[in-house]
Structure 1
């Protein structure tokens, strides 16, 4: 899973909290934070099951979907309230739900 935000800082804080939950619950998930500037190149070169966009970059969803259409990568926008509150538990649960529904895990 790749989290994308404007410069990667708010996602980095969120990632730290998510990684703690992943570790504590021994979940089969790897998560990375990246800025929009690097994201398109990164996801084109690194296989990922889910590109999770922060609310402030939701306008890029179509661009990611087009770029990744042949790779069957999910592209979703993180809930604005959960993102603003850095609610890593809710965000991670939703990501896991998406991955399970689409049989990625």
Structure 2
């Protein structure tokens, strides 16, 4: 089971991306637990996920999130085009690549 956390401001668009990523994972036969949280909520989740992806709108928080992750998990910003087009399959593959799957 892969645990993927998306971080955003309010969560509306990121929640849609989570749904698209979950559908892509199901199609690919991958067991994945994909969630979206705010930056403040993510702080409590960092120790329980395999990768943390930031929405482009909170990309400026990357250094802070990397500091909190302390090298235990990859922390990256989602490609703006993939985020904007809600390309769940591409963002899922990005997450899996970061995990090393």
Same topology, TM > 0.5: yes
Aligned to 1:19: 22
Gaps in structure 2 of 5+ consecutive residues: none
Alignment of 1:1-105 (within 5 A): 1-43=4-46, 46-69=47-70, 72-100=72-100, 105=101
Instruction: Tell me how large the CA RMSD over aligned residues is.
Output: 1.4
The alignment covers a number of residue pairs equal to 98
Deviations 1:12-51 (A, max 9, x none): 00011111111121113221111223222332xx411101
Give the ranges of 4+ consecutive aligned residues of structure 1 lying more than 2 Å apart after TM superposition: none
The structure richer in strand per residue is: 2
Greater Rg by CA: 1
TM-score (norm 2): 0.88
Gaps in structure 1 of 5+ consecutive residues: none
SS of 1:31's equivalent in the other structure is strand
